[in-house]
Structure 1
């Protein structure tokens, strides 16, 4: 028996999907393809939003941050998973586990706050269109983006610190493909109810409060859109918000399932597949959701491709 930072200093063994060994080669191929698409899609959005002046708007400024977050989040877990699935090495050092825990929590928490900021941007665009540029001026956008990153890192620092102070015992096996909070908590021994309560409060604050703020924003947005008389106007307003709402549903749905259910009812087997969804599938879908029906992005792609043809 000992604490997280003493008896487990030699590291952990990530079991990954070894209990479904026949699935591992198939998972390796699918995850490699999804990871490649995630890198391509999010890098494309970042590049286009930087190159094209028509995309120099608050919405694309925040979307650029979201794409960068998704790139970092998948990269913090997927390379380790691919090595794990290949059967080359299933171990992770103590320091590596702490870094992975902190970074995944920090990036996930930052996305929680950033999605609220993006909801506020949509609220300003739909409910106050005449004052939109005055409200969402560059200085405020930069401040909100920085606040998202700082808030996410602070929340992660609190949770990681509490986790490291917990006494862990038993085998050095993690029934997961990365060092996730819920699986590490399963190794906790002694009575850790007080610490778990503090961690639950930290998780609830970063998940529940943003959801309530986003829902509040959309109540005002829906009320405003319903007052619009033209069908085309309503369709355009709902179109600008629909993408964000879909991303919010995918992200918060899986996050709330994972982090807000009681520990005694958490299934590690189910948890691994849910984690696959929010670490790989959602970051891959985000660029598609935002660009599939977006005329601005399609126009920017045509411009960039057109320049490429002329320069050849």
Structure 2
């Protein structure tokens, strides 16, 4: 699981654990993500399935895409489709995706890159593997997260951010046992490059077998951890967690603890965790398909606007798709 790595983790800035005695987040529960299919048929794990929205807010939805090894001719993407009212964050670990949208945004995202698209008032986009990857096949693995927008930003102008893996902020735990990649927000004084409407923190951690990391956490944020690969425990109570599971932390405390099992399975060298949290919006959520609004009437309006072409148009050079 390459993403972004370093030759010598001890050269990185270190995020110090909070002082002993500070309140730590307890674990409310651990849920196993069911398997589903997205787009043209690529496999995903629905990380937030079955978790009450009050523990997820400001997040709406998250898929682990893959991990899948495609044979030649098998790689799949998504067709052109609309969004309104939220932000999509696509983080690639292995493989390549190409993005294009009706607002002129676009680019190629590969290992360690992040595509951050603010749909706001409305946008059309498409995500597909490039032709050479379709021909050759290969490994495909990533995460797509949906971040809600507060009512005042639902109809914001669409925005696209292409965050190269080389721009992700890197840090280590005090003993060098964990590599921390901060994509957005701030963790222990380390700031990620992602610009967000909704205050959040988002990081990918690689924790060596037997190592433990305790990170300072904004007491006003919720806290979730999704295990991309490996086995370990969460919290001081050492709640077991494994690949494909989501840990929901309680609302009180200003630190989170994650620990890797001393022995990992043959598929991974370390514990890989997607750690995220944000300031709850605490507004009504009306969601249907690609639209996330506050009321059912706004969802109906989004469909009408999409059908009338008010969410954008497919660029002429791509209309054949």
User: Which gives a bigger RCO, structure 1 or 2 (Cα 8 Å, sep 6+)?
Assistant: 1
Q: What TM-score do you get using the length of structure 2 for normalisation?
A: 0.28
> Normalized per residue, which structure has more strand?
2
> Normalized per residue, which structure has more helix?
1
